Amino acid sequence: MKLAVLMSDYRTGSDIVDRLSAEKLGIILVGNGVYHAAAKEGGKACPILEKKADFYALTEDFESRGFTADKLDSRVKAVNYGDLVDLIFNDYEKVIWL
């Protein structure tokens, strides 16, 4: 199964993502979830980025929080709303929201 996970929170949901298994896993960071892509705690990147997955962050959401694409972790690809729709309809069979 090809599963996309939309994460909209920074403090919750990581434990659920740790338990997910899919043939192809995509984690799409939206809303406050974009902090996973740019924030560092104790100088270390967010542990969720260690998960074997493709990571995306919604441009409109990280820019509205004062981040630029060059501040995102290198494992995270910036996407706009059009890209997000393409991902959901073309690359993944199921989508969940955390």
pLDDT in tens, 7-21: 998 876 677 888 888
CB 12 within 8 A of CB 41: no
pLDDT at 7 (0 to 100): 92
Task: Locate the domains of the chain by residue range.
Answer: 2-97
- Of the candidate CATH numbers 3.40.50.720, 2.60.120.10, 3.40.1260.10, 3.90.180.10, the domain formed by 2-97 belongs to 3.40.1260.10
Q: What is the average pLDDT value for the chain, to the nearest integer?
A: 89
Please tell me the distance from the alpha carbon of residue 31 to that of residue 35, in angstroms, as a whole number: 9
CB 59 within 8 A of CB 71: no
